[in-house]
Amino acid sequence: MAQQVASAPAPRFVGPAGGKPPLRRGHQRDIYGALDLGTNNCRLLIARPDDGGFVVLDAFSRIVRLGEGLSSSGRLTQGAMDRSVDALAVCAEKLRRRHVTLARSVATEACRRAANGREFAERVRRETGIALEIIAPQEEARLAVLGCHKLLEPGDGPALIFDIGGGSTELVLVEQGEHAPRIRAWWSAPWGVVSLTESEGRAAIEGKDRVAAYGRMRERVLRSFARFVEMLPDDLSNVRLLGTSGTVTTLASVHLALPTYDRRIVDGLHVPVGDMRRISSMIAEMDLDQRCGLPCIGAERADMVVAGCAILEAILDIWPAETLGIADRGIREGILRSLMARDGYQL
């Protein structure tokens, strides 16, 4: 449920070989790892502090679809777990090869919801050495804000930062703080690109009445936002909006007609909301083959992107911003910043 976010729980710091290192001041040779295992993707960043920020030394991203079938069975499937363990084994090798000093590895909605989520985390520990921390939605929201808030447009008005995941969507209402935004409230809705796609059914999304199916998905998401809407300020003028997820970066790439994805162009982009709505409606009207043919969507994202568009449009319905900020950064960057700040680095 929505609530004010209190001080975050102490993170669990686990190196590639396991164990908790003692607190210490930062050292110029320190190398940090951040792993985010979501419902759809497995992502890793390895970085070292540098001049008030950090330099990325290595990265990894793979679509694993850990939450595939979860909405119907309540459990992680064997195939989804196998795919995820394979990806995590690659991450573990990168952590070892890069001699990572501190790492934090988190799992989100799929592991939170699955009856066998903790059993899966134990398997990951046995087979890869990675200790997955299944984090609460409020911690997920905090890390996402910490990772991407620097891309918010300047201004004194309220801002909404959102993260469209595979199994859930986090909405975070923030206000201006002295050094970083203050979180006023957060909400975790049970709809992400995987869970919403499975709820509606691929046959409906791809069928002749797919526009109607798209409308149903939007309405479903809007209903899940109802209590959060009650917490929004009465005055919604001069508002700012920032999104972090594969959905917003993909749609921004379509907006720019990029032949291939380019993070340097997309991260930090601001797109008129009207253009994002137009692109979302266009994608919802396409069939699967047409979506596969769009650069930066392709076969890997074509079956899930319609649900992402529906979630995005529902967010735009409740938050009347004129532009949408695009962030190709989030939980992993939030983890890195928190780890480095803990060791005394000024970020």
- Domain of 42: which CATH number? 3.30.420.40
Q: What is the pLDDT of residues 233-276, one digit of tens each?
A: 998 989 999 999 999 999 999 999 999 999 999 999 999 999 99
Residue 20 has pLDDT above 70, yes or no: no
Task: Kindly provide the residue ranges of all beta strands, DSSP E only, lying in the chain, ordered along the sequence.
Answer: 32-37, 41-50, 53-63, 102-107, 133-134, 159-164, 169-175, 182-189, 240-244, 270-272, 323-327
15: in domain? no
Q: Lowest-pLDDT range, 2-11, 83-92, 195-204, 242-251?
A: 2-11
Rounded to whole angstroms, how far apart are CA atoms 69 and 315? 25
204: in domain? yes
Residue 65 has pLDDT above 50, yes or no: yes
Mean pLDDT of the chain: 91
Classify 275 as helix, strand or coil. Answer: helix
Rounded to whole angstroms, how far apart are CA atoms 53 and 345? 9
Classify 183 as helix, strand or coil. Answer: strand
- Shared domain for 77 and 113, answered yes or no, is yes
- Shared domain for 262 and 159, answered yes or no, is yes
10: in domain? no
- Shared domain for 184 and 291, answered yes or no, is yes
The confidence score (pLDDT) of residue 181 equals 84
27: in domain? no
Measure CA of the first residue to CA of the last residue in the chain; give whole Å: 31
| Ordered strands of the 102-107 beta sheet | 53-63, 41-50, 32-37, 102-107, 133-134
- Shared domain for 55 and 152, answered yes or no, is no
Binned at pLDDT 50, 70 and 90, residue 155 comes out as confident
Check if the beta carbon of residue 347 is closer than 8 Å to that of residue 340: yes
Rounded to 10 deg, the angle between the 193-200 and 305-318 helix axes is: 100
- Shared domain for 75 and 164, answered yes or no, is no
Residue 13 has pLDDT above 50, yes or no: no
Q: Lowest-pLDDT range, 49-53, 99-103, 206-210?
A: 49-53
Residue 192 is part of which domain span? 139-327
In this prediction, residues 224-235 reach a mean pLDDT of 95
Residue 3 has pLDDT above 70, yes or no: no
- Shared domain for 117 and 167, answered yes or no, is no
- Shared domain for 77 and 131, answered yes or no, is yes
In this prediction, residues 22-29 reach a mean pLDDT of 52
Classify 307 as helix, strand or coil. Answer: helix
Check if the beta carbon of residue 94 is closer than 8 Å to that of residue 58: yes
Residue 114 has pLDDT above 70, yes or no: yes
The pLDDT > 70 percentage for the chain reads: 92
Q: What is the pLDDT of residues 280-319, one digit of tens each?
A: 999 999 999 999 999 999 998 999 999 999 999 999 999 9
Q: What is the pLDDT of residues 316-338, one digit of tens each?
A: 999 999 999 999 999 999 999 99
Rounded to whole angstroms, how far apart are CA atoms 231 and 140? 20
- Shared domain for 260 and 304, answered yes or no, is yes
Domain count, the chain: 2
284: in domain? yes
51: in domain? yes
- Shared domain for 321 and 188, answered yes or no, is yes
174: in domain? yes
- Shared domain for 170 and 108, answered yes or no, is no
- Shared domain for 144 and 180, answered yes or no, is yes
210: in domain? yes
- Shared domain for 109 and 188, answered yes or no, is no
Q: What is the pLDDT of residues 173-199, one digit of tens each?
A: 998 777 778 899 999 999 999 999 999
Nearest alpha-carbon partner for 89 in 114, 116, 62: 62
The confidence score (pLDDT) of residue 2 equals 35
Residue 22 has pLDDT above 80, yes or no: no
Any idea what the CATH number is for the domain that residue 254 is in?
A: 3.30.420.150
